[in-house]
Each structure stands twice: as structure tokens, then as C-alpha cells.
Structure 1
Amino acid sequence: MQFPLRNSEVDYMKKIMFILIALAMLTAYAAAEEFETEQIESVEGYTVSWIEDKEITDNYQTRTVYETIVQGETDWLSKTVNSYTTQLHIDLNWGDSSDSLRLKIYSPDGHTFGYYYDNSDGSNDGRIQFNINNPDGIARGTWRYEVYGYDVSGTEDYTI
């Protein structure tokens, strides 16, 4: 034997269904927003995205350049890409959040990426770390890095 539902019970079930649907839609929207914030720039086939978990990527790429910089100084560094790859990992690390460096990247095919600052990824941690991706392959040749002592007291050591 089946009992018919009263109007108040039907209304209650409708409200519950509406809430569940709204929660599902908000969750999907939030997930889409989270994905979109990972990508910070897009330039003619290239996408730039922040590294989310910096501890995991500490050994992602061997640091090849150790330098020092002072307030107002600009250092020009480079990395040569000789073989086909779809990703270039950039990791400027000075570790002192009381100082701030600025980074701009120039590709061999004429594109520029940046300016990026310590807090560009939402965190003041003395590090600027991201990937430049291109599914068709990043440009081969010499990539140039412009590191600028934006707000430095004394001399700051860094790696890139």
C-alpha cells in the first residue's frame, strides 16, 4: 500500500532537490574557476601557468645559474633549448621574501612573457615559478631572462 504525499512534503522535496542542483552547479563553477586561475597568460600558442605545489618541484629542473643582484640592477641570463620540448620550466628563487625581484622572459621567436613579481602567484615567498607550454613545441634557440632588483636591500643571491 502506497501513501500519497502531502503538499508540504512535496514542497519540502522540491526545496531539497533545488538545493542539491544549486550545489552541484556551484561546485562545477568553482572547479572551472580554479582551473582558469592556474593559467596566467596566453600568447600565440603559448600558455603560462603557475606551479601550484612548489615543494614537489624543488628538484624539477637543475638550477644552472647562481647570481647576485642589488637594488635597481638588471641581470640578463639565458637558456638554450636545442631539442623539441613542449614545456619550459622557469624557477627564479631567492628565498628572501623581504626582497623582491622582477622577471621578464623573451623567447627566440619574438614573444615576451611578464613582468612577474614575487607576489604574482599570490604568495610572497621569494620565488617566481611557472611553466611556459606550447603543444606544438616551444621555440628552439636562446631564451633570455631579464631579472631586475625591484626592491632589494643589500645584495641578494638567487638561482634560476
Structure 2
Amino acid sequence: MANVTFKGNKMTLVGSEVKVGDKAPNFSVLANDLSPVTLEDSKGFKRLISVVPSIDTGVCDAQTRRFNEEASKLDNVKVITVSMDLPFAQKRWCAASGLENVQVVSDHRDASFGEAYGVLMQELRLLARSTFVVDSNDTVTYVEYVGEGTDHPDYDAAIEALKAAE
């Protein structure tokens, strides 16, 4: 498993680590209207899955905005931001942010995404900051488990991987 810290404290990640070349695991999360969202809902698109501990923090806000901005320049792309925030808090954040090219979803109910992608931090019941690119054939083409949860991901590498994905 990836080694992850949060504010310098070592975290135990629950679930299975995802690697480049793997078939992307399916998951079931909630949209901010409480409807279910799965990986299969975006089948046929290239997906950038941006995982954040909480949408209400500065780094998570910046990460979501940056990927939204970059995705608006690309075709056949879906950006999905996943956190453990309640759907109501996500809905409030989305309304205030004005972002249009990103779907923010909640894993709070079952931690389905967190366990399927190996990003559930046991000690905090939050998701570890990470980025996954999944091509239109559901193959994982890029993975980054950010070593320190308060650091930014490698935006450029993720966007290049998204551009290169089929």
C-alpha cells in the first residue's frame, strides 16, 4: 500500500491499492441530490478522478478548481471529485464555486470508493488525497497517492495522462 501521512501523522489506508493497467474498480457514491453515482455512469468518457479529504479546505478547493479549469479545455472528459463530505455540504460548495466541468460526489455513506481505490484513511475516516485517470475503456492509466495529505497533487502529470488516455 501507498505510504500516506496527514499533517505529518502516518495513516493506515483501507482497501486495495490501484495500479496503472488495472481495470478501474466500480464504486457507488452519492451526488449532491442523493442519487447514486457509479463509474459505469461515465462509461465511454476519459475520467479524471480527483480525491480530496474535504472540499471545504484550501488545498482541496484549489485542486478541484484547477482540474475543472483544465478539463474545460478537453473533449470527452469527465472530472469527478470524491470526498467524504456530506452531499449537502458539497451542494453548498458547488453553488458558491460556480464550477461547471466537475462532478462532486460523496463517499460518506458506504466508503465504497475509498475501499475500492485504497484511499480510505482508517484513523480519520477521510479519503487520502489522490488522483486517478481512467480511460474510456475503464483502464487505469495514471495513479498518484499524494504522500502528505495537505500537499497538492502533481496537476501537470495528471492532465498530461488525461490528454494521453484513449
Shorter-chain TM-score tier: under 0.3
Q: Per residue, is there more strand in 1 or in 2?
A: 1
Q: TM-score, normalised by structure 1?
A: 0.26
Select the structure of larger CA radius of gyration: 1
